[in-house]
Structure 1
Amino acid sequence: MWYQIIQYIKFLFKSTNQHGVHSPFVYNLVTKCFYDKTDYLEYKTIKTYRNKLLKNKNTIQVNDLGPGSRKAKTNERQICEIAHTSGTTYNRAKLLFRLSKYLKSENILELGTSLGIATHAISLGNPKASSTTIEGCPNISAFTKNTLKEFKTINIQNADFKDALISLTHKSYDLIFFDGNHQKETTINYFETLLKSAHNDSVFIFDDIYWSKGMTQAWETIKQNTKVTVTIDTFFWGLAFFRKEQVKEHFTIRL
């Protein structure tokens, strides 16, 4: 907790808004997507889906393949507890919707489905997009698959990420959301494995880059990769782009 507080204070000192951005691509992304104040109709759908999970008192057996929840004391957890402690927040879900919509992402991959709050929001951003999302816990995967069964374009798979990536890296993805295993070496390994799936207009989004010192180190390693040209640090997410036409540059943006 103290690590995150200290890092957030540092972030506030070095972060900026659109006025500190000189890249036309990043400026447009910040002003037309990050700071877009449009009250989209889909926001109500996102809120309804999330609130339904927050009110669900049913329990489920959780098998965490990653470092697990810092707050959970047992493997049996209520759906509402998972949604509250591990689920994507409403504001971040709205931002994922805007990113998917603005970038017109058609082929999407998510590592870490959980209860599908992020999955649902990204899919609403482009209903015609093809989304594959991987969840390690069999019970959570089955629950979310049933909850999102009306979304025919979402393919929910239950598998260990390492095993799943073997059959997925032959594809090219417009947007990949890394939200499943918050450990340094594992995050770097997934990033390097999926590099072959990136194209010039792809974006890789890494959740909780200040979750721990190790995750921050992983983010710094990703930033320095020669294929990454533009990065945006929003504190809770790190976004990496591969635009060859741009000079390598790193941005820290307040949302």
Structure 2
Amino acid sequence: MIYDYIKYLFRAKDEYSLHSPFLFEFYTKIIKDKNHSNSFQEIEDLRKQLLKDERIISITDFGAGSKLNLSNQRKIKDIAKNSQKSPKLGQLFHRIIGLYQYKNIFDLGTSFGLTTAYLSSQVVDSQITSFEGCPETAKIAQENFTKLSLKNINIIVGNIDETLTQKLNEIPSLDFVFFDANHRYEPTVRYFEQCLEKAHEGSCFIFDDIYWSDEMKQAWQYIKNHSSVTVSLDLFWVGIVFFNKKQTKQDFVLKL
């Protein structure tokens, strides 16, 4: 990933290279905006608590697993340190949902729920469905949502290969999806294509760790080249795609 990151730094552009009004607004109002919401501090205080939590839980993992710990017995503080998205990314997602007023949101991979909390705290009447394979992890996430007084999140526990299909059949459309469940090519592409059936021209899909492995790099190439995708944004840590047919098909590498 170091080599990929160096290449990214050389390729990444800022707002001065963007001629599309849509992308210019996205960069200036979302990527460059550093204003902090009061809710951020509550989430980050909770992160500090998790980083000190010595409890050991049993992990059920249906995905590619961890590169740092192969044991299914892990301390909460270690999971919080290695598996949670950074505050910078959480706040980025928060601003995207706020700017476009997304209401129907899927979060594929709850973990301890910190990123999910960022997704839920922007639009008052939004509904977040968060999928988690590990029952013990989901239990802690629910505890965290209760501490943060977040009542618009529904955690679906189980193998996403089964639970995602069932939930998609129950909803009319999807505004926003964060894919962070299985860092392998086939499941990532399959989840993308399943959710795509519920996407509309204003939808936004975000894929985590697009340089995490060769399989994830291949999955990102497939996704951004898909005929339904009109705009793809490479921020190294995540890849973002939009489906607005009024936009010409474009691919950008942007500074985060």
TM-score (norm 1): 0.95
What is the alpha-carbon distance in structure 2 between the residues aligned to residue 112 and residue 127 of structure 1?
A: 22
Q: Which runs of 4+ in 1 moved over 3 A?
A: none
Partner of 2:82: 85
Q: What is the DSSP-based 3-state SS (H/G/I as helix, E as strand, rest coil) of the residue aligned with 2:197?
A: helix
Q: Deviation of residue 116 (structure 1)?
A: 0.4
From 48, 52, 72, the equivalent of 1:51 is 48
Tell me if structure 2 keeps the 8 A contact 1:65–1:136: yes
Give 3-state SS (helix, strand or coil) of 2:174's partner. Answer: coil
3-state DSSP class of the match of 1:146? helix
**Shift of the alpha carbon at 1:43?**
2.0
Equivalent in the alignment of 2:144 = 147
- Secondary structure of the residue that 2:216 maps to in structure 1? helix
Aligned residue number for residue 97 of structure 1:
94
TM-score of the pair, normalised by structure 2: 0.95
Aligned partners of 1:224 and 1:74: how far apart in 2? 36
Equivalent residue runs for 1:65-214 within 5 Å: 65-149=62-146, 150-170=149-169, 171=171, 172-214=173-215
Q: Residues 159-183 of structure 1, C-alpha deviation per residue, up to 9 Å, x if partnerless?
A: 1111012222232111100001000
Question: Which consecutive residues of structure 2, in runs of 5 or more, have no partner in the other structure?
Answer: none
- Cα deviation, residue 13, structure 1: 1.3
Shift of 1:20: 0.9
Q: Tell me how far apart the structure 2 counterparts of residues 89 and 37 of structure 1 sit (CA, whole Å).
A: 14
- Is this contact kept in 2: 1:50–1:90, CA < 8 A? no
- Mapped to 2, the partners of 1:137 and 1:59 lie a distance apart of 14
1:47-81 residue CA offsets vs partner (Å, 9 max, x unmatched): 11221211211111111111111111421111111
Partners in 2 of 1:64 and 1:119 — Cα distance? 19
Q: Alpha-carbon deviation of 1:10? A: 1.1
What residue identity is the alignment partner of 1:156? I
Q: Structure 2 counterpart of 1:236, which letter? A: W
In 2, the alpha carbon distance for the partners of 1:238 and 1:28 equals: 18
> What is the aligned partner in structure 1 of residue 246 from structure 2?
245
Q: Counterpart of 2:9?
A: 12
Deviation string, structure 1 residues 89-131 (Cα, Å, up to 9, x no partner): 1221221222221221111001100000110011112232100
Q: Is the 8 A contact 2:138 2:155 kept in 1?
A: yes
| Equivalent-residue separation in structure 2 for 1:125 and 1:169 (angstroms) | 23
**C-alpha separation in 2, matches of 1:176 and 1:54:** 27
The aligned counterpart of 1:29 is 26
Q: How many residues matched? A: 252
State the superposition RMSD in angstroms.
Answer: 1.1
In the TM superposition, what is the alpha-carbon distance from 1:42 to its structure 2 partner? 2.1
Instruction: Determine the C-alpha separation between the residues in 2 that align with 1:242 and 1:185.
Output: 22
Give the secondary structure class of the aligned counterpart of 1:200: strand
Cα distance in 1 for residues equivalent to 2:192 and 2:115: 19
Which digits, 9 at most, give the CA deviation of each residue in 1:117-166, with x for residues without a partner? 11001111223210000000111112212321332210011011110122
Identity of aligned residues (%): 38
Q: Distance between the aligned counterparts of 1:86 and 1:14, measured in 2? A: 27
Worse-matched range after superposition: 26-35 or 64-73: 64-73
The answer to whether the Cα contact below 8 Å between 2:46 and 2:144 also exists between their aligned partners in 1 is: no
Corresponding residue SS for 1:148: helix
Deviation string 1:166-219 (CA, Å, 9 cap, x unpaired) is 222232111100001000111011111111110110000000000011101100
Cα distance in 2 for partners of 1:110, 1:22 equals 31
Contact map agreement 1:133 1:155 (CA 8 A) in 2: yes
Q: Do the aligned partners of 1:93 and 1:118 also contact (CA within 8 Å) in 2? A: yes
